[in-house]
Amino acid sequence: MNILIIGGGGRESAIAWAVSRSPLVRRLFISPGNGGTLNYGENVILPLVYPFDEVIEFCEDAEIDLVIVGPETPLVDGIVDCVRRVGIRIFGPSQKAAQLEGSKAFMKEFLARNKIPTARFKIFDDAKEASEYVTRHNTPFVVKTDGLAAGKGAIVNKTVRETLDSINRILVKREFGDAGNRIVIEDLLDGDEISIFILTDGRDYKWLASAQDHKRIFDGDEGPNTGGMGAYAPVTFLDDKLKQLLDENIVAPTIEGMAREGNPYTGILYIGLMITRSGPSVLEYNVRLGDPEAQVVLPLIETDFLTAVWACMHEELGRLSLEYYDGYCTGVVAAAEGYPDKYRKGDPITGDLSDEPDCQVFHAGTVSAPDGKIVTSGGRVLCVSARGDTLENSIARAYQKMKNIRFEGMFYRKDIGAKGLFSQPE
């Protein structure tokens, strides 16, 4: 098969790595890819503009058998519908189903209709009404833009004043543009945050894995939010009882609800959850793998990933038996100086970037310079992912590899996975 992967970050490096190992692959293309995806296939630049004519033309010329989409924006913009319309296979949700991530208002109303647990909420497009709601309750809230805002659209506030300021920033100052035409105001939840990754053909589903991201820039979950500074999988405190609760109250009702409402969801569904004292609650749906969660989820799947995707696309998921590595995977992100604000670029990366059987270096913000040197080009530069029979061993292995990688201004968190160590089963 000839495969095209859309995207160029660490997540797409992990997808390209997983796909490249499949005996079913003939040629693999990644668009735009990065300095590391060249180890797995060929990079091509294709504009991702509706109605995705360049992508379709490339698929026809290169005889692509399957397109796999990494990031949310093309999915929300309808790439699946456009590519499928001309008879090319593409893995991911339709534009309508991608609304689960594309519109927080759609998602919250879906949850409420289907009685799936989530924080109490209200939707506003008027700043005065939103502010009155907050003042009346006299308590801080989380304020979220309805549309996609590159991971920055959810503002968790500590005070009423901060909450009112968030409303003002989105609805009055329009800091997030049209993504902020409407807002969701929701109650603050307290608990442990986890993510689960579900492969579904719209009817049957299979768990890929669970993971915990580390969103803050500094150790101990301090400092500003980032796209994710590291992750580990699977979540140590997710036992059979909690898994069953999630299946019954959240995963199955989501898949069934989308199908019943005429928007069957196909592809990978990422469910962000808060495990509160009164049970699990949905924080968000994402219509794709996470980044850096993909870098720790995919190495744990022993079954050929492309075979799993193929089964999913042919509604044969019910018959697929997914085999998992019996251990843990930890991924540590190395970022460029300045990230998550303005960051350095163009620094050569030296050291041992080679993949090993139990350890991969997934590039994200890197490019291959004309002389073949790998240089930094993004805020999150790379992610070292390592497997181990225990979480401790996978953490140690990832940090051991990271020690031999260098670039000017490089930094990474030193406590990735530690939150899993405190909550391990006996």
**Residue ranges binding ligand GLY (CB under 6 A):** 151, 213, 227-228, 286, 290-291, 293
Residues forming the site for ligand AMP (CB under 6 A): 119, 142, 144, 154, 156, 186, 188-189, 193, 272, 283-284
Which among ligand AMP, ligand GLY, none contacts residue 228 (Cβ within 5 to 8 A by kind)?
ligand GLY
Which partner in ligand GLY, ligand AMP, none is near 293 (CB below 5 to 8 A by kind)?
Answer: ligand GLY
Q: How far apart are CA 141 and CA 138, in angstroms?
A: 9
Would you say 231 or 246 has its CB closer to ligand GLY?
Answer: 231
Pick one of ligand AMP, ligand GLY, none as the site partner of residue 144 (Cβ within 5 to 8 A by kind). Answer: ligand AMP
Core vs surface per residue 281-308: b (16+ CB within 10 A) or e: bbbbbbbbbbbbbbbbbbbbbeebbbeb
Smallest distance from the beta carbon of 188 to ligand AMP, in angstroms?
A: 4
CB atoms within 10 A of CB 94: 21
CA pair distance 23, 242, nearest whole angstrom: 36
Q: What minimum distance in Å lies between the beta carbon of 158 and ligand AMP?
A: 11
418 binds, among ligand GLY, ligand AMP, none (CB under 5 to 8 A by kind): none
- CB closer to ligand GLY out of 10 and 140: 10
77 binds, among ligand AMP, ligand GLY, none (CB under 5 to 8 A by kind): none
Q: How far is the CB of 73 from ligand GLY (least distance, A)?
A: 12
Closer CB to ligand GLY, residue 41 or residue 228? Answer: 228
CA distance 20 to 357: 14
Task: Give the C-alpha separation, 251 to 394, whole Å.
Answer: 29
Among ligand GLY, ligand AMP, none, partner that 171 touches (CB below 5 to 8 angstroms by kind): none
Residue 62 burial by Cβ neighbours in a 10 Å radius (0-12, 13-18, 19+): middle
Based on CB atoms, which residue is closest to ligand AMP, 119 or 386?
Answer: 119
Spatial CB neighbours of 321, under 8 Å, sequence gap ≥ 6:
303
The span from the CA of 300 to the CA of 317, in Å, is 18
Task: Determine the 3-state secondary structure of 223 from DSSP.
Answer: strand
